[in-house]
Structure 1
């Protein structure tokens, strides 16, 4: 059985600890990169990874799943931080947590089971593509601030590595991937991912090979992020006084200018408990709730879908509602200590599962190891020596393992509409975000289902003793009401008509309205209708919807005469 709550496995302490350490190493550049995307200090992303990772691993509904700062949530934070600042972001993260906990209390987590498998495949493929595409940014250097005329906002652009630098970087990526694939064939005593990171780091540090390290990347990201924030602040100050025709030109001038960036302290130091300092009024509440709802939706969708994926990989079953509660509590705490919030991370979760992490200990170990990297400078210095190329190689392996390659062979084996959903969800995940992609996939799947089922309503017609009998088959719901109405010919029918519902089921209000409408047509012609084998619930609803239906039970077998 795929989902078996009774399966019990002994904890492999070595695998759990080594998997957690491997995940922690992979979390460092990801947390920094996502903080950079959101336009906040790297420490804000790192503390979010620590808090969200620890709380969800310890109390969440899916042992083995890793949570932290994610790109899906970081993307929607970018403009918000520029417009409203860090304190509003922290307040929005807290609001996100409250909403997620409310979803857990109301047991909304179970609705993830309603997601079609085609949406799941599209989600996994799209996310794999997004993770892979994000790694190509590591093949650039000399980052600078530019002005995006389309968005009328500042962005960061870089130049591709060239010549020997590109060759060295690609070689280190290939070496990392080769070790991860080949080492398990020789021994499983050490996770291949951890061995690859250590080997590549030693190669770079003990030989003349030069490669960008985590330390180098953090310094450059920090400097460019501060420059971007300062230029955006100056632009927002000047924009109200500019003519529309002057906005783009002034934006380009500010982007190209040399601005001295002062190393000012942030409004609140990450890692220290504090209530966000924002005005307590309705305007602030509206601003905070707007982002909070968006973050909550994205976080829950990504977390619950990742939970389902890990369920399938481990042949166990997680607790979606418990995960909602844990994610909410984690984000509340993250907002209070100056973190950017987060949710489940499919990439790191795959690293953990494939490295042998199956229990809560691996996630807790990852969070505590990441905390140690932040708190103890010697450990942070060791992490800083890791080549970024090694971490890119790790993520490429995750991409290859995450993408459902078998889905490419389904194009002529499954209905075309289902394959369209897979492609659509994958594409929308890449060009937009996860929440929009999943919602679009569900809507497309629902419309396709409704269209198919709308043609399944039919009736066998017979006439006996002057009474015309319609014996219905198939579901009756909003998509089938047109076909349902077309089955009847009130003007041509005799004075007595029977509609038999024994082999059909009435699903929604649209169906009830269609039944009432058909009966009304017969009434207007002075003809009588008997509705047979309607459920008690349908009879009650029909009486409430249309009192003129003459609600009298004709026979003990629940026949309603009209």
Structure 2
């Protein structure tokens, strides 16, 4: 399980250096999401440390970075505001239990069923969300305490340092890949800003601005064990259960989709069910150590992969380095200019957005292009979980519509004068109307045969359609026979069961999705 160094393509040096880079970028993200959730910054930093460490050891995707995320923070805020932070910790514990159960019952495999257009929409939408989140770093507080956009020399210096960061990340790999370009960019820009005393905000300026506490600091101690101080009653369970279900779903969807993206980039395959258990274990522990819970972070994961991090050691390094920053190195981290971190995230945006999808718009089916745009838009406007669920539903409906058009029948007259309809294609809820239009009870001869050798009845709607067709012929006093239906079809037919001809040698044997047999 603990394969930290086993595979040859994993480099200890690359994992350690990329982990340090990720740790630097984790600090402002964790603090920002803590503010979104209306909790203390340390709650977000502890979450980034523990989720990152535990998922790196137990999770199913080496190289993927987890921590406190905005997708989960926006769900938490209502619970914190209404009931307090202790209820949040209890909800995070229950979230972990739900996610572990999802892994135990192997629900992680269903992420492989997410259609490719939905994946493209997810990636593009998340890239836009990351970009928009960075724009907040260009705001400052006026003397009256209101937020306003930077202007004058501060804005120009901010843009210049962001551009310098991006230039280093882009050009340095052309000369050497010995050190992650993002780490070099952060250290270089930080040194320039400090040496020249450039007047742009640093990490601690952001923390103090958001908390309205000019004495705030990122220094802290080790997280301590504590059972959430909530009543252990049925009422408490009813309060936290809806939030835990949503947090578990959002966390797993974001984590498993991020895993699929990294699988594609690295041409490897992660373990979805193991990742569910890893994420659940991390959140379960978080709730007992005063942390807000979290899931995979696509931005930091992309930084890690682009910096050469491939193994579990990269995530472990990032988590431990983050803890060391809190314990002994807070003054160094606090002095990092936001411009350096914004530049790193802008490069993540450029690398994450699937630019080829823009060129594909006129080359792919209109339904696929629509799904890509729809999922991207909902990801930006609402949240990731809703976007993916809507995308999957729309994709399923589009698929059903296309499959519904594939049912047809060839018509012949056999040697006995019976008319034979040989049906081809799937019979299910979407194709019933087309199936019914095939037949001509009024003009057909006295004896009619419907042959399903090249067709399948898939669901209860299909069974109802077979019964209804039999009734149409019986009302006209004509005889209808069904051939090559499965035994389950014969069992489920209420009115046409006696019309099914049984051929033990030729009849197919398949299952029908019907609640009567569930």
Shared fold per TM-score greater than 0.5: yes
Matched, 1:442 2:392: yes
Deviation at 1:552, TM superposition (A): 6.1
1:491 — aligned with what? 442
Instruction: For residues 79-127 of structure 1, give each alpha carbon's deviation from its aligned partner in whole angstroms, at most 9, with x where no partner exists.
Output: 2211111011111111111111111111110011111100000000000
User: Aligned in 2, Cα 1:145/1:304: closer, same or farther, shift over 3 Å?
Assistant: farther
Contact 2:99 2:280 in 1 (8 A): yes
Q: Deviation at 1:446? A: 1.0
In 1, the alpha carbon distance for the partners of 2:144 and 2:370 equals: 39
The 3-state SS of whatever aligns with 2:141 is strand
> Aligned residue for 1:407?
357
Q: How far apart are the structure 1 equivalents of 2:394 and 2:339?
A: 39
Give 1:68 shift: 0.4
Matched, 1:473 2:424: yes
The separation in 2 between residues aligned to 1:20 and 1:555, in whole angstroms, is 65
What is the deviation of 1:551?
6.6
Match of 2:95 in 1: 96
CA contact (8 A) 1:47 1:271 kept: yes
Match of 2:341 among 370, 391, 396: 391
- Contact 2:457/2:489 (8 A) holds in 1: no
Task: Indicate if the aligned counterparts of 1:534 and 1:558 stay in contact, CA closer than 8 A.
Answer: no
In 1, distance between residues paired with 2:115 and 2:340?
36
Q: Distance in 1 between matches of 2:148 and 2:395?
A: 42
Given that 1:467 and 1:494 are in contact with CA atoms closer than 8 Å, whether structure 2 keeps it comes out as: yes
Measured at CA, do residues 398 and 144 of structure 1 come closer, stay the same or move farther in structure 2, by a change above 3 Å? Answer: farther
2:3 match: none
Report if the CA contact (8 A) 2:490-2:500 is conserved: no
1:348-398 deviations in whole A, cap 9, x for unaligned? 00000010000101001101111111122xx11111110011101100000
The CA distance in 2 between the partners of 1:114 and 1:434, in whole Å, is 17
Aligned to 1:433, which of 375, 380, 383?
383
Which residue of structure 2 aligns with residue 302 of structure 1? 254
Taking the aligned partners of 2:259 and 2:431, their CA distance within structure 1 comes to: 35
User: Mean alpha-carbon deviation: is it higher for 428-437 or for 463-472?
Assistant: 463-472
TM-score, structure 1 normalization: 0.85
Q: Offset of 1:528 from its aligned partner?
A: 2.5
Task: Name which of 327, 350, 359 aligns with 2:302.
Answer: 350
Q: Is the counterpart of residue 190 in structure 1 residue 179 in structure 2?
A: yes
Please state how far the C-alpha of 1:526 moved relative to its aligned partner. 3.4
After superposition, give the CA deviation of every residue in 1:218-257 in whole Å (9 maximum; x if it has no partner). 1222227x9xxxxxxxxxxxxxxxxxxxxxxxxxxxxxxx
Answer yes or no: is the 8 Å Cα contact 1:184–1:192 preserved in 2.
yes
User: CA separation in 1, counterparts of 2:290 and 2:507?
Assistant: 65
Shift of 1:20: 0.4
Question: Structure 1 residue 461: deviation in Å?
Answer: 1.2
Q: Which residue of 2 aligns with 1:237?
A: none
> 1:514, CA displacement in angstroms?
1.1
Alpha-carbon distance change, 42 to 270 in structure 1, aligned in 2, over 3 angstroms: farther
1:13-162 alignment, distance < 5 Å: 13-142=12-141, 158-162=147-151
**1:542 Cα offset (Å):** 3.3
Following the alignment from structure 2 to structure 1, what is the Cα–Cα distance between the partners of residues 451 and 35? 64
Q: Distance in 1 between matches of 2:242 and 2:504?
A: 55
- 1:23 shift after superposition: 0.5
Q: CA deviation at 1:145?
A: 11
Q: CA deviation at 1:556?
A: 3.8
Distance 1:526 1:392, change over 3 A: same
In 2, the alpha carbon distance for the partners of 1:498 and 1:170 equals: 76
**8 Å Cα contact 2:63-2:314 kept in structure 1:** yes
User: What TM-score, normalized by structure 2, do the two folds share?
Assistant: 0.92
Q: Is the 8 A contact 1:519 1:549 kept in 2?
A: no
Are residues 1:528 and 2:476 paired? no
**Hey, what's the Cα distance between the residues in 2 that align with 1:516 and 1:128?**
51
Distance 1:87 1:145 in 2: 33
Alignment check: 8 A CA contact 1:477 1:507 kept: yes
**Distance across 1 between alignment mates of 2:502 and 2:297:** 60
Cα distance change of structure 1 residues 438 and 485 upon mapping to structure 2, 3 Å threshold? same
Q: 1:365 to 1:143 in 2, by over 3 A?
A: farther
Query: Are 1:199 and 2:185 an aligned pair?
Result: no
Structure 1 residue 362 corresponds to structure 2 residue 351: no
- Change in Cα spacing, 1:475 to 1:144, as seen in structure 2 (3 Å) is farther
How far has the Cα of 1:541 moved from its partner?
3.9
**More displaced stretch, 116-125 vs 447-456:** 447-456
Question: How far, CA to CA, are the matches of 1:461 and 1:40 in structure 2?
Answer: 70
Aligned mates of 2:282, 2:439 — CA distance in 1:
58
Alignment of 1:161-172 (within 5 A): 161-172=150-161
Q: Check whether the contact 1:512–1:542 (CA below 8 A) recurs between aligned residues.
A: no
For residue 493 of structure 1, report the CA deviation from its aligned partner.
Answer: 2.1
Deviation at 1:202, TM superposition (A): 0.6
For residue 234 of structure 1, what is the aligned residue in structure 2? none
Q: C-alpha displacement at 1:522, in angstroms?
A: 2.4
Q: Please state if 1:284 is matched with 2:256.
A: no
Match of 1:509 among 460, 480, 491: 460
What SS is found at the alignment partner of 2:420? strand
In structure 2, relative to structure 1, the CA distance for the partners of 1:470 and 1:109 (3 Å cut) is same
1:13 Cα deviation after fit: 1.3
Secondary structure of residue in 1 paired with 2:261? helix
CA–CA distance in 2 between the matches of 1:551 and 1:558? 17
Counterpart CA distance in 1 for 2:393 and 2:10 is 41
1:554 Cα shift? 4.1
Q: 1:394 to 1:552 in 2, by over 3 A?
A: closer
Q: Which consecutive residues of structure 2, in runs of 5 or more, have no partner in the other structure? A: 1-5, 509-518
Q: Does 1:544 align with 2:518?
A: no
In structure 2, C-alpha distance between the alignment counterparts of 1:306 and 1:559, rounded to whole Å: 44
Alignment of 1:206-245 (within 5 A): 206-223=195-212
**Would the aligned equivalents of 2:448 and 2:480 in 1 still touch at CA under 8 Å?**
yes
